[in-house]
Copies of this chain bind each other. A is one copy, B any other.
Amino acid sequence: MPQRYFVAPAIVSEAGGDRRVLLAGDEARHLVGVMRARVGDEVTLFDGSGSEFAARIVKLGKQAVELEVIAREEISRELALPLTLGVALPKGDRQKWLVEKATELGVTRLVPLVTERGVAQPVEAALDRLRRSVIEASKQCGRNRLLEIGQPQTLAEFAATAPPDALRLIAHPGGADVRTRTTGDELWAAVGPEGGFTDDEVAVAEHAGWQRVSLGRAILRVETAALALAAWWAMR
């Protein structure tokens, strides 16, 4: 995979050619300072819209790099069937890992869950850090659509948002083995905090039509449970 650079806002090039884009901030500094790019060099850009762009550097500045788009290609590395994951985020590094791995494994949307026993309160600055992790992981793994980090919700809110015909699963002790659940064109899954969802939280989701599932015999950490569900969905 060649070096990929993320550019925002989206490139609205209709036909390639002549369209100019500006790369700024860390992306520009990396290109100039680390990669020692020069005018005329070609790089790969993506903007989260699903396309990849071949672009040529036309001007190097200290704060920004100007490029012209020379080709656009639609390359999908998305899951065949979408996955929306609600997670009571763990703290610190584990949170960052979870988002990196969720991006690699193709999770479509990740919604931080605000739960009774949860520890990490997802404030806007934290969500921005996670979005930055999504971009970094996407550069590396080749995804051209960004995993979307949603606004925090309670499990009741998250459960009520899911389309009724999606497969809707809560990872919770006492549920059926997840391997018995194999229908649905779309998965919505919820993973609770270290201490688990409360009975009340689970009851509300079950009332909304969600099913409890068990992920095996070991006690998985939050991020492990979330990634195991994502891998199961991606590879089943």
Contacts and interface: CB of A to CB of B under 8 A. Distances in A.
Given A105-B224, A236-B236, A143 B218 contact: yes
A34 to B, nearest CB: 17
A236 B181 CA distance: 10
Lowest 7 A-B CB distances belong to which pairs?
A231-B231, A77-B217, A228-B231, A141-B218, A232-B235, A77-B218, A104-B224
Contact of A227 (B141, B143, B221, B227): B227
A140 B225 CA distance: 14
A179 to B, nearest CB: 6
A215 interface: yes
Interface residues of A, number: 31
A228 B218 contact: no
A101 interface: yes
A234 to B, nearest CB: 6
Tell me which of A140, A143, A179, A234 has the highest count of chain B C-beta atoms within 10 A of its own C-beta: A234
Nearest to A213: B235
Contacts of A77: 216-218
A178 interface: yes
Contacts of A112: none
A125 interface: no
Contacts of A228: 105, 227, 231, 234-235
A232 B105 CA distance: 12
Nearest to A221: B104
B105 A219 contact: no
